[in-house]
Amino acid sequence: MASSMTTASTGMPRYQKTFLGHPRGLTTLFFTEMWERFSYYGMRALLVYYLVSGGVDAAKGSQGGGLAMTAATATAIYSVYVSMVYLMAMPGGWFGDRVWGARKTVAIAGFVIMAGHISLALPGQAMFFVGLALVAVGSGLLKANISTMVGHLYNGPDDPRRDGGFTLFYIGINLGAFVSPLLIGTIGKEVNWHVGFALAAVGMGLGLAVFLAFGKSLNPKSSEVPNPLSAEERRNVLVKVCLVVVAAAVFYGAVVALGLYTLNWALVPLTLAGLIIPIAVLARIKRDKDLDKAEQSKVSGYIWFFVAAAVFWMIYDQGGSTLSLFADDKTADTMFGLGFSATWYQSLNPLFVMALAPVFAWLWLWLARRNKEPNTIVKFAMGIVAVGASFFIFIVPMNMAGDGTLVSPMWLVSIYMIQTIGELCLSPVGLSVTTKMAPKKYASQMMGVWFLAVTAGDCTTGLLSIAGVDLNGTGIIALQATLAVVAGFAIYMYRNKVQALMGDVH
């Protein structure tokens, strides 16, 4: 450790201890996020397996004690849950900006997430869905604000340490995501589901303890409310929220009283909301008369990226549902003579991200020096084609397993690696292009719009499952793969048109 001088404009003390040349607050946020991701990805690795355990689609020899649901219902619940996490990032950012400030919002989010995991650790279907809702809400609140707090540690966008700080923070995310399926996943799936969920609660508790104990290392700006609600705005918000809650309570109370309630009464509205809200948000921005001609053009260009990204996430996020079910039921659970839990596959993506991200960063720089680096549109197209190709490859082991043969784990290892390569082509580019193409009026909100692409993609998967489409069939896998490849080639073929809409963004 060393000491370095920081500028007064950051709001931090002029002389402050640093870690690896970065503000000490980065260490606090690094471990907070690492433990939060540990809890989230550990629980997510168990989710589909717990839902089908004891039911007709459970793998042979798997432990009971789950909710005995079909694979289609489990996939729908998983997809809706993941989509809600990203959907809640928008109101999460709103709470940080207008109600509590980023620091207080993250602290509250930590308690909500921990309460959610504790609920999941308690037996019973009712407690399970309460826990799932709490984790989704808490994760959305935290996701939108903790990255903002990382930015607060540095002296504005031009601070040369800023990109490196976010890179270290990103390592924390993937480190937690890598370890949790190995520990929480194995214990939860192979020993006891509820012990696994309890370990996720412990993980979030450790992250919260770090955040509260070392909060003084954070920038005081993180405690400020940038644009607080006026008294009148607060009253209006409370009235609207109360009206929505009362209307929902009356409606669902009537459905239950009439004996009509099924799980779809909850899943279908959430799925439709996850599709309608992104469309409505983009339409509202597009119709805004305050935007000048150049901004309108950029929004039109951004819609191309948004739709293509939704297709990407529709396939990519099935790594925790469709691919997980295949891993448990039709893939060998030994390799080189060593046995392992099917939850371990969920550690592959963060492992590949940590291994390949530096390689991609070096590759883009190497190509840039030779004026051969692909532009934003081409990288985006490459990512979508890659995720489509992964599902074309998936068809091969699916056919091999048709007669009951257990396929080699290397098939899934290869598929997850190809999807990670696609992610590294698309996700960083998507984040970058979102900030560059955002109209000034919506500069802060557009990052939430990017997350809505994940919501739209996952809700599409959820809607297909609710409609009874067998997502574990080769036909639908081939259709999704074709859709992704076609979307990738469409962006590439129309790259000149998209570039014209993007204006000065390259």
Contact 83, 274 (CB under 8 A): yes
Confidence (pLDDT) at 157: 65
Local confidence pLDDT in tens for the 506 residues of the chain: 333 333 334 444 443 556 667 888 999 999 999 999 999 999 999 999 999 998 888 877 777 788 999 999 999 999 999 999 999 988 888 888 889 999 999 999 999 999 999 999 998 899 999 999 999 999 989 987 888 888 888 887 667 787 778 778 888 899 999 999 999 999 999 999 999 999 999 999 999 999 999 989 999 988 998 889 999 999 999 999 999 999 999 999 999 999 988 899 999 999 999 999 999 999 999 888 888 888 899 899 999 999 999 999 999 999 999 999 999 999 999 888 888 999 999 999 999 999 998 898 899 889 989 999 888 889 999 999 999 999 999 999 999 998 889 999 999 999 999 999 999 999 888 877 887 888 888 876 777 888 899 999 999 999 999 998 888 889 999 999 999 999 999 999 988 888 888 877 66
Strand-by-strand arrangement of the 15-19 sheet: 2-5, 15-19, 22-23
Domain termination site, one of 209, 228, 247 = 228
Confidence (pLDDT) at 18: 64
Contact 432, 377 (CB under 8 A): no
**Structural domain contains residue 259:** no
Q: Domain range for residue 425?
A: 289-506
**Structural domain contains residue 97:** yes
Q: How many CB atoms lie within 10 A of CB 359?
A: 11
The two structure tokens encoding residue 420: 């990670």
Looking at the fold, whether 189 and 297 belong to one and the same domain comes out as no
The two structure tokens encoding residue 331: 């893939």
Contact 12, 38 (CB under 8 A): no
Looking at the fold, whether 224 and 302 belong to one and the same domain comes out as no
Looking at the fold, whether 68 and 167 belong to one and the same domain comes out as yes
Confidence (pLDDT) at 10: 46
Phi, psi of 56 (to 5 degrees): -70, -25
Could you give the number of structural domains in the chain? 2
Smallest Cα–Cα separation from 185: which of 175, 174, 176, 197? 197
**Structural domain contains residue 2:** no
Looking at the fold, whether 299 and 176 belong to one and the same domain comes out as no
Domain termination site, one of 228, 257, 277 = 228
Looking at the fold, whether 437 and 315 belong to one and the same domain comes out as yes
Say which residues have a Cβ less than 8 Å from residue 251's Cβ, sequence separation at least 6.
none
The CATH number of residue 298's host domain is: 1.20.1250.20
How many CA within 13 A on the CB side of residue 333?
19
Looking at the fold, whether 223 and 303 belong to one and the same domain comes out as no
Looking at the fold, whether 222 and 294 belong to one and the same domain comes out as no
Q: Hey, CA dihedral for 491, 496, 497, 502, is it positive or negative?
A: positive
Confidence (pLDDT) at 477: 96
**Structural domain contains residue 192:** yes
Confidence (pLDDT) at 14: 42
Domain termination site, one of 181, 204, 228 = 228
Looking at the fold, whether 215 and 134 belong to one and the same domain comes out as yes
Confidence (pLDDT) at 12: 46
Q: What residue ranges in 1-137 does DSSP mark as E strands?
A: 2-5, 15-19, 22-23
Confidence (pLDDT) at 4: 36
